């Protein structure tokens, strides 16, 4: 079970949820867009406050939401019907979020998964496990942040399922790099590079100003825009994963340069 956290954290999350759909639509409205039809979203967390607050915010956005207290309860339901998107806690009784993620991925490679973590160290651990989650948020998190990422992932999923049904805008091109800012999709030398939402946002921050050094603090603001604290080590882990993913597409990739003691820059 999770340790008890300060009540102010939950109040902060609740205030973000109760800011309303208008505030959510303002943030990242260029990628979010309205939800055309309700999506079936699963929230799996053993903390009542988290489950109920996240469900409240998602329902305000028009989504159908089902809540589960642990991974086993969720999995028993998923064996019959998979959700459109899953939001998973990590440490839960009976079955944790890591095992649940593995089982989901065995059934579906495209179902969007967002992990909610209790500590910064957990992000480092799950990033290293390469479980195939689409993004990660650390508690206490901004509800606007979560809603924006849910919308991005559902839009990406809709494109993967039926590319012809989506309005296509020309991707941004930076040499061999292509960025689809509508669906957060990336190609390098025409080869797809599978990034999380956070990795995409950090990459876009670097690429917009080639040759300019971005500090870890600046990358944190780009990757986690709303009131989320992550350590420098977690930023380093994200950059390490970015490099590895591009190197899988191109072993000669060397466009992300470390400036020791300062941060990182994109070399065109």
All structural domains of the chain with their residue ranges: 7-161, 169-266
The predicted pLDDT at position 41 comes to: 96
The predicted pLDDT at position 52 comes to: 95
Domains 7-161 and 169-266 are alike in CATH topology: no
Return d(Cα 36, Cα 32) in angstroms, integer: 11
Start-to-end Cα distance in the chain: 47
Return d(Cα 204, Cα 184) in angstroms, integer: 10
Q: What is residue 144's three-state secondary structure?
A: helix
Neighbours of 48 (CB within 10 A): 10
- Hey, what are 185's tokens? 């999709």
Return d(Cα 198, Cα 224) in angstroms, integer: 7
The predicted pLDDT at position 140 comes to: 78
Q: What is the pLDDT along the chain (268 residues), one digit of tens a residue?
A: 333 344 444 444 444 444 433 333 323 333 333 333 468 999 999 999 999 999 999 999 999 999 999 999 999 999 999 999 999 998 899 999 999 999 999 999 889 999 988 766 666 566 655 677 888 888 878 888 899 889 889 888 887 777 666 666 678 888 899 998 877 889 999 999 988 888 898 999 999 989 999 999 888 888 877 656 667 887 888 898 899 999 999 999 999 999 998 999 999 7
- Hey, what are 120's tokens? 């910064």
- Hey, what are 204's tokens? 């876009």
**Facing residues of 266 across strands?**
256
Longest dimension (CA), the chain: 51
Q: Which fold has domain 169-266?
A: Arc Repressor Mutant, subunit A (1.10.10)
Burial of 19 (0-12, 13-18, 19+ CB in 10 A): middle
> Considering only the top CATH level, what class is 7-161?
alpha beta
Q: What are residue 206's phi and psi, to 5 degrees?
A: -70, -45
Q: Convert 223-246 into a string of H (helix), E (strand) and C (coil).
A: HCCCCCCCCHHHHHHHHHHHHHHH
Burial of 117 (0-12, 13-18, 19+ CB in 10 A): buried
The predicted pLDDT at position 193 comes to: 92
């Amino acid at each position: 079970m999770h340790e008890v956290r300060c009540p102010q954290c939950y109040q902060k999350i609740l205030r973000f949820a109760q800011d309303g759909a208008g505030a959510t639509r303002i943030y990242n409205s260029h990628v979010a867009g309205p939800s055309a039809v309700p999506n079936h979203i699963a929230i799996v967390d053993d903390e009542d406050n988290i489950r109920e607050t996240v469900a409240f915010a998602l329902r305000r956005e028009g989504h159908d939401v089902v809540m589960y207290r642990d991974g086993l309860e969720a999995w028993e339901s998923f064996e019959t019907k998979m959700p459109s998107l899953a939001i998973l806690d990590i440490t839960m009784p009976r079955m944790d979020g890591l095992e649940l993620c593995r089982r989901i991925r065995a059934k579906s490679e495209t179902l969007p998964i967002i992990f909610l973590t209790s500590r910064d160290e957990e992000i480092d651990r799950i990033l290293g496990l390469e479980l195939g989650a689409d993004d990660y948020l650390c508690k206490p998190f901004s509800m606007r942040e979560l809603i924006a990422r849910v919308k991005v992932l559902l839009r990406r999923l809709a494109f993967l399922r039926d590319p012809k049904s989506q309005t296509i805008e020309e991707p941004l091109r930076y040499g061999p790099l292509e960025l689809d800012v509508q669906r957060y999709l990336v190609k390098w030398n025409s080869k797809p590079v599978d990034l999380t939402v956070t990795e995409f946002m950090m990459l876009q921050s670097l690429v917009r100003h080639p040759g300019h050094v971005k500090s870890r603090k600046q990358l944190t603001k780009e990757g986690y825009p709303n009131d989320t604290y992550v350590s420098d080590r977690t930023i380093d882990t994200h950059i390490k994963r970015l490099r590895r993913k591009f190197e899988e597409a191109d072993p000669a990739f060397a466009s992300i340069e470390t400036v020791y003691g300062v941060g990182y820059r994109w070399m065109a």
